[in-house]
Amino acid sequence: MARKVTAIPATISRYTAAPSNSTRKRRVAGYARVSTDHKDQTTSYEAQIDYYTNYIKSRDDWEFVAIYTDEGISATNTKKREGFKTMIADALAGKIDLIVTKSVSRFARNTVDSLTTVRKLKDEGIEIYFEKENIWTLDSKGELLITIMSSLAQEESRSISENVTWGQRKRFADGKVSFAYSRVLGLDKGPDGTIVINTEQAETVRLIFSLFLEGMSPHSIAVELTKRGIKTPGGKDVWNQQTVRRMLSNEKYKGDALLQKEFTVDFLNKKMKKNEGEVPQYYVEGNHEAIIPPAVFDLVQAELEKRRSGSSRYSGVSIFSNKIKCADCGSWFGSKVWHSTDRYRRVIYRCNRKYKGKRCETSHVTEDEVKVAFVSAYNQIVSEKAEIIANAQIIRQTLCRTDVLEEEKHTLEDEMSVVVEMAQSIIAENARIAQNQDEYQKRYDALMERYDTAKARHGEVVDAITAKVAQSERLSNFIRTIQVQEGILTEFDERLWSSMVDFVTVGRKKEITIAFRDGTEIMV
């Protein structure tokens, strides 16, 4: 008997599980996106919405669901695209059968994201139609085409990112400064694009630097600013010490600008990383009007470094914190409260190593004892006011000069520039001309060693200049303060204490030595 084959037609769609002869309309959604908020893109964005709304509604076999949108969002990954994520969630929840969008690049410029999303939807029988490329994802060759088009779109994103990065670095190299003004208190963008001082906010900046030099810690300054009702750079009511610390270290307040502090590691996820030498940085001096005099700013940097390098954690709770030192072991004194719950309550200062390891024998002191010692020492200085001022001026003019160091700094900068050009030259030559790679590597290593040596010395010179400028500013403040003082002190003056005293040492027999900022030491 001859074999007979009879074909039985499919009655259910393998993608949608709906009967093949079903007259149910496909539920269709549109997706529109533009990557910037520019007004030209806004027109495109609105046009996409209008077009796909009318396009879907014009089809008798389609049922309009919604238009999902993302405005001013990059397509290089889907993490921040809320409209996109909502659309995919609705589709997987069974509310959408078909998604219509302009092109693969509008959908995603990341090949992995694109294919992952397409496959996830395909497994649920949900189709995507890319109009520009005429690709239907449930078509047998749809995934191949999407892979190709997504890869092309991703490479286009890479090219755009590299061009933008090159443009930014070219502006940096040309010394063109730009930054997020909303994050920098006291500086605004002027009508002609220049940086101008915001007079009201600048007072807050000056207050922060002043409080820090008076001995307060960033945490204490944050508490004080919050108590005064001053707004943070972000417009918030509560300050934190990280914000204060960043402001104290921001070179823009002295009129300079360090460019490319951060850089983009990956163009797909836009991850930013602190620049620790991976890409060039550019320092622009005298770029705009300073809120804080450069000398004062350098003094603050020296004080920050001093507090960081101390053997114990710096405390700015009171004007005596980190000001009293043990003459025996060199440790700082900390405050302790005696009789905290009764009428004999008082605050004393005691060596922090009093009961650590080998017991320190130095006696404690009270605030009143320190105050009396300061008044006595200050009055001795005032009695020799003319001589003290003359000595301080001599020290400032001789020991604080930086002209030789500045000349060496410029010489080292020229040296580094020459070495960089030589290195780039031999790299380019090696790329063009075949040569002995061992010899090339030796030349390259020698240049890098020369550069590293110059760079290390440059860092030392810059630190030395900063230290001398800070010392000069300390002496200037000391001279200005003592010049305007008339007569002797009859009681403790907190302002004079903060501006004139470097530290105090206490001996075993409570002998107190006041070290003033001009280097004068007086034992009382």
Distance CA 485, CA 386 (A): 12
User: What's the CA angle centered on 480, arms 479 and 486, to 5 degrees?
Assistant: 95
Q: Write out pLDDT tens, residues 367-408.
A: 888 889 998 988 888 888 888 888 888 888 888 888 899 999
Q: What is the pLDDT, as a whole number, of residue 418?
A: 92
The mean pLDDT value for 275-285 works out to 72
Residues written for the chain = 524
User: What is the model's pTM?
Assistant: 0.54
Mention every residue, 6+ apart, whose C-beta is less than 8 A from residue 195: 177, 187, 188, 189, 252, 287, 288, 289
Instruction: Calculate the CA 493 to chain-centre distance.
Output: 39
Q: What is the pLDDT, as a whole number, of residue 415?
A: 92
Give the pLDDT band (50/70/90) at residue 230: very high
Q: What is the largest CA-CA distance in the chain?
A: 134
Q: How many C-beta neighbours within 10 Å does residue 233 have?
A: 19
- Look at residue 433 and tell me whether its pLDDT is greater than 50: yes
Beta bridge partners of 63: 27
Q: How many C-beta neighbours within 10 Å does residue 110 have?
A: 22
Distance CA 167, CA 159 (A): 12
Q: Write out pLDDT tens, residues 348-377.
A: 888 888 777 677 888 888 888 888 999 898
Give the pLDDT band (50/70/90) at residue 75: very low
CATH architecture of structural domain 181-293: Alpha-Beta Complex (3.90)
Token code pair at residue 334: 């900390």
Q: Hey, where are the domains in the chain? A: 26-161, 181-293, 324-406+447-523
Q: How many C-beta neighbours within 10 Å does residue 471 have?
A: 20
- Look at residue 457 and tell me whether its pLDDT is greater than 90: yes
- The CATH fold assigned to 26-161 is Rossmann fold (3.40.50)
- Look at residue 215 and tell me whether its pLDDT is greater than 80: no
Give the DSSP H/E element, type plus range, for residue 391. helix 385-399
Task: Look over the chain and give the mean of its residue pLDDT values, rounded to a whole number.
Answer: 80
Q: Write out pLDDT tens, residues 435-453.
A: 888 898 999 999 999 999 9
- Look at residue 268 and tell me whether its pLDDT is greater than 70: no
Token code pair at residue 266: 């990956």
Tell me which of 16 and 352 has the higher pLDDT: 352
- Look at residue 199 and tell me whether its pLDDT is greater than 70: yes
What are the angstrom distances between the C-alpha of 115 and each of 14, 15, 93, 142?
Answer: 21, 18, 20, 11
